[in-house]
Amino acid sequence: MSNLLALAGVNTHIGHYHILQGVDFVVPRGGLTVLLGRNGAGKTTCLRTIMGLWKASAGRIEFDGSDIARRSTPAVAQLGIGYVPESMGIFAGLAVRENLALAARSGPLDAQRLEWIFGFFPALKKFWNLPAGHLSGGQKQMLAIARAIIEPRKLLLIDEPTKGLAPAIIAHMVEAFRELKRTDTTILLVEQNFNFARALGDTVAVMDSGRVVHTGSMTTLAEDQAEQQKLLGLSLDLHQ
């Protein structure tokens, strides 16, 4: 399987702080890669650096064969990368319909794709004309993900989609991501909920102190309690 995204020696500074200190990992095409790590390990910074929201001070970010490390955020997005930030980034004053219409850059909303999205996020159809600020936390997360996939994307960067969500909604999210995986979309997921990550992940990269300290298959890591203890300081079964 070829790699859609490859980071090599990526460094990011925010003010005087040296956050990413030579990050190396790859995201295989068509799969779901989970980026794990303790709070402050640099996972969110990594996604923001790929999106160009923070500029890499050194290193290469290769997407689909070209280096995107120096490109602007809109240019990165236009290559076919969808981004769901940790804050979800929904436009609270805009209706659900308007949030999705804005994300459909190439023109009007595709009715068939919209029905496909409504299939796993039915709440969005129900609240179509409601300002997004009135949705519940889970519905906002659904909207944020729906917005990222309203048009076919080559790569989705998703930052902690289950954060603060109820277990029933997380189970619903797992189903939605499985449906998404059936398409050819490649996904890079930052996640703290290990059950969620294990249910979906094909490959895994573990970060610590601004570096990637482990890469491999999710199945292997999920079965190796000692490695989990070593990499994350606790058993991932408890880390949910």
Partner 1 sequence: MSDDALRVPRIDRIPLALIPAIALLALALIPSLPTWVTLTVAGLAMGMMIFIMASGLTLVFGLMDVMNFAHGAFITIGAFVATSVLIPLAGWTQADSLWMNLAAILPAILAAMAVAGALGLVFERVIIMPVYGQHLKQILITMGGLIVAEQSIHVIWGPDIIPLPKPATLRGSFIFGDIAIEKYRVVAVIVGLAVFAAMFLLLNRTRIGLLIRAGVEDSEMVESLGYRIRRVFVGVFVAGSALAGLGGVMWALYQETVSSAMGMQVMILIFIVIIIGGLGSVGGCFIGALLVGLVANYVGFLAPKIALGSNILLMVLILLWRPQGLYPVAKR
Residues that bind partner 1 (CB under 8 A): 51, 53, 72-74, 77-78, 83, 85, 87, 89, 91-95, 98, 101-103, 105, 126-127, 129-131, 133-134, 136, 147
Distance of closest approach, residue 122 Cβ to partner 1, in angstroms: 13
Distance of closest approach, residue 46 Cβ to partner 1, in angstroms: 15
Query: Can you list the positions of beta strands (E) in 46-141?
Result: 56-63, 66-67, 81-84
For the record, the structure tokens of 184 come out as 């050819």
Distance of closest approach, residue 48 Cβ to partner 1, in angstroms: 9
Of 176, 153, 188, the closest CA to residue 28 belongs to: 188
Distance of closest approach, residue 73 Cβ to partner 1, in angstroms: 4
* Complex with partner 1: residue 56 or 204, whichever CB lies closer: 56
* Complex with partner 1: residue 126 or 178, whichever CB lies closer: 126
Distance of closest approach, residue 51 Cβ to partner 1, in angstroms: 6
Query: Can you list the positions of beta strands (E) in 101-219?
Result: 155-159, 186-190, 203-208, 211-217
* Complex with partner 1: residue 81 or 204, whichever CB lies closer: 81
Upper half-sphere CA count for residue 91 (Cβ side, 13 Å): 12
CB 150 within 8 A of CB 104: yes
Q: Which residues of 115-138 are buried (b: 16+ CB within 10 A; e: fewer)?
A: eebeebbebbeebeeebbeebeeb
* Complex with partner 1: residue 54 or 120, whichever CB lies closer: 54
* Complex with partner 1: residue 134 or 230, whichever CB lies closer: 134
